[in-house]
Structure 1
Amino acid sequence: MYCRGGNSTTSDDQNTNLAVNPLYNLTKENWWFQHHRGCDVAPPKTAEFLELPANGEFTVELAHNRAFTTLSYDGKFVTDWPDGKEHPEDWNGYNTDGTPAVCLKEDGALHTYNESSAGGTAFAISYHSELKDVTMENLVVFTTLYHTPWKRLATYKVPDLQACPEGGCTCAWLWVPNGCGEANMYMQGFKCNVTNASPTAKPLAPAQVATYCEDDASKCVKGAKQMLAWHQLTGNNIETEQWVTPNYNQKCGWAEGAQTDIFEQAAQPTTSSNTAVVSSTSSAFSYTSPSAVVSSSTTSSVAMSYTSVAPASASSNPASSSKPTTTLATLASSTSVTVKEVPTTSAAGGCSSAPVLTVTAPAVTVTVTKYHSRKPSARAAA
């Protein structure tokens, strides 16, 4: 991650919270990847990537300070919570004497009353390895996790992403708190890389500006969307009424989990006036459900380590190869329609058909400590 050890490229501060501080009332030049803190010029070390298993999931640590993650002090100050303390499972700011609820008294950095009111976080990806080439239009939100940040560990699902170019992709962890404090936002940069990518995965569509649509779902923008830029001096892409907060959830058109509508759509086949060709290919994928978190300080993110759960390799279903997958409907001049099944033809002239792809449940869980060597961590796999 950028600014992992502070904004110095020559020293490593294990007690830093620089990257997890909020962004508020800044120019676009300054808030973009935390330029005003020098984080954009403090990149990860060579070959250090946040790995994103296509059609799988990854887990990160969310904490107020790197000291409260497994990346510092051998995990000495780690608990289940972002502040390194112990809290009850139903931790909340609700009073029992009939007075109104309040934001968490013990941890204002989480900006919430309880877990259910946490605003939700997201990751976005750009298929550019250099920050200078990353724009709002090519940085696409690809996964969301409702009711976060909350606990230290958070797991995000990954859609069917393409492989990254040489040098990797650029990612950002994103959060807009749901009230309980200053109306700010968070953006933390990462070098990332997609693993287990399918050769048939589609490229991302250009990111569109999201809209606030909690009161009317028909107003929600469909497809690839930009990050939310809110309450800054310049560069804002969403405005709301007073006391209304946009979040990475249904309020702005994001379903929870992997965003599967962010890809370029294939061109629709043209048809003549009397012939229609309909092709059908079946594919089925299954992957484990998510659960994860990033690190934060005034609760931002300090995603320090992660666990990748990769799906098993896809295999073709031999049984499907004997069945034609293309239907030719010949429209006669009368009102009757004659339908014939016609198998597709391979380049060699023989019959062929698109195989049915199946993916079994994840077979392997690999635990890796993100900013250490590429060798598996000594921690037991979940």
Structure 2
Amino acid sequence: MVARSAVFLSALLAQCWTLQAHLAVWTPAMYGQDRANPNSNKAVQPLQDYTFKEWWWHGSMDDKPDKNAVFHLPAGGKADLEIADNKAFTSMGAHGLFPNPRTAPVPWTNTDNGWGNMHAVHRQDVAGCALGIAYKDKPEDVKPEDFVIFSVVHDCPARQLQSFDIPDLPKCPNGKCQCSWFWIHKSIGGTDQMYMTPFVCDVKNSTTTKKLGKPIPPVKCDTNKAKCIVGAKQPMYWKNKEGNNMFEPGHYAPTYSNAYNYKEGAQNDIFQNGHAAGSKKTTKKATTTATKTKSK
């Protein structure tokens, strides 16, 4: 029995490592968790060249979590999320997390603890991931432009258990918001795709009465800071047939990084409307573009 289990685990590991660019966050509050399959990788499938209906909500609007499953966001604190390419290697699966899940592997390879360069050939290629929130208690009511990015980790995904800094977010309506993890990796090996893992969330211990500003898409501004979008920013929707708000060409992936003015950690400027740093007025053109492409 032990030998058979070892063979099964080895085969599963081999299968998982072939999905080197495919990752998701895992929580019982997520949509699309594929409950019946303990070895599911449904949630990690990349989003590329899809219609809006296919990619939005990772195509899992109808695969809802249990009624009382909610991921808690401590206002002004930190929240941990598990990142893996298969449910088996999370606390929701049979194998569970590997040792030292908070530590990035050294050297940067697929090491004995099973966690390595899952998407980046070189350590410096890690591109950044983000969390977004929409203040709607029903997923069907959420539109792409409703999400506001509230936390960013530049060195992500590099760990199985990733900590995110949470700003002092306002309370959720009826004790429930809609959140999502977002990630776009660098254009390595010719792959251009985005990732989205939606989940039910709630803000705990909020002390603010402020509302979030109106978000708009970011702009690449590493060579011109006046173009940087400050204030609330949308997630980046890219490389699908419709619904995009980012239009970088292939092999020039937009990333959750300083190049797009996504600062490390809690995004504490989200209480003001998104606007270009060189302008005092809210930028409306980008929001209009995103809305129009969604409705094709």
| TM-score category, normalised to shorter length | 0.7 to 0.9
The 3-state SS of whatever aligns with 2:81 is strand
Counterpart-to-counterpart distance in 1, 2:195 and 2:104: 24
Structure 1 contact 128–168 (Cα < 8 Å) conserved: yes
Correspondence for 1:90 among 85, 107, 129: 107
The change in CA–CA distance for 1:264 and 1:211 in structure 2 (over 3 A counts) is closer
Structure 1 contact 59–154 (Cα < 8 Å) conserved: yes
Deviation (angstroms), 1:109: 7.7
Q: Map 1:60-139 to 2 at 5 A.
A: 60-73=81-94, 75=96, 78-80=98-100, 88-91=105-108, 110-139=118-147
Counterpart-to-counterpart distance in 2, 1:20 and 1:34: 9
The 3-state SS of whatever aligns with 1:19 is helix
TM-score relative to the length of structure 2: 0.75
Stretches of structure 1 that go unaligned for 5 or more consecutive residues are: 94-105, 266-382
Is residue 52 from structure 1 mapped to residue 80 from structure 2 by the alignment?
no
Is residue 26 from structure 1 mapped to residue 62 from structure 2 by the alignment?
no
Correspondence for 1:193 among 182, 189, 202: 202
How many residue pairs end up in the alignment? 241
The amino acid that maps onto 1:233 is K
Structure 1 contact 112–179 (Cα < 8 Å) conserved: no
Counterpart-to-counterpart distance in 2, 1:164 and 1:194: 6
Deviation (angstroms), 1:235: 1.0
Is residue 217 from structure 1 mapped to residue 225 from structure 2 by the alignment?
yes
Q: Map 1:204-353 to 2 at 5 A.
A: 204-264=212-272
Structure 1 contact 222–253 (Cα < 8 Å) conserved: yes
TM-score relative to the length of structure 1: 0.59
Counterpart-to-counterpart distance in 2, 1:88 and 1:42: 33
The amino acid that maps onto 2:45 is N
The 3-state SS of whatever aligns with 2:55 is helix
The 3-state SS of whatever aligns with 2:61 is helix
Deviation (angstroms), 1:167: 4.7
Deviation (angstroms), 1:90: 2.5
The change in CA–CA distance for 1:107 and 1:57 in structure 2 (over 3 A counts) is closer
Counterpart-to-counterpart distance in 1, 2:115 and 2:188: 11
The change in CA–CA distance for 1:87 and 1:142 in structure 2 (over 3 A counts) is closer
TM superposition outliers: structure 1 runs of 4+ over 6 Å = 106-109
Cα deviation per residue 1:268-306 (whole Å; 9 max; x = unaligned)?
Answer: xxxxxxxxxxxxxxxxxxxxxxxxxxxxxxxxxxxxxxx
Stretches of structure 2 that go unaligned for 5 or more consecutive residues are: 1-28, 274-296
Structure 2 contact 47–55 (Cα < 8 Å) conserved: yes
Counterpart-to-counterpart distance in 2, 1:110 and 1:237: 27
Structure 1 contact 111–179 (Cα < 8 Å) conserved: no
Match of 1:203 in 2: 211
Is residue 43 from structure 1 mapped to residue 64 from structure 2 by the alignment?
yes
Counterpart-to-counterpart distance in 2, 1:87 and 1:136: 32
Structure 1 contact 68–79 (Cα < 8 Å) conserved: no
The change in CA–CA distance for 1:188 and 1:178 in structure 2 (over 3 A counts) is same
Larger radius of gyration: 1
Counterpart-to-counterpart distance in 1, 2:257 and 2:70: 26
Most deviating of 26-35 and 233-242: 233-242
Quote the RMSD (CA, aligned, Å).
2.4
Deviation (angstroms), 1:251: 1.5
Cα deviation per residue 1:55-78 (whole Å; 9 max; x = unaligned)?
Answer: 001011100101001221262x63
Give the % identical residues: 32
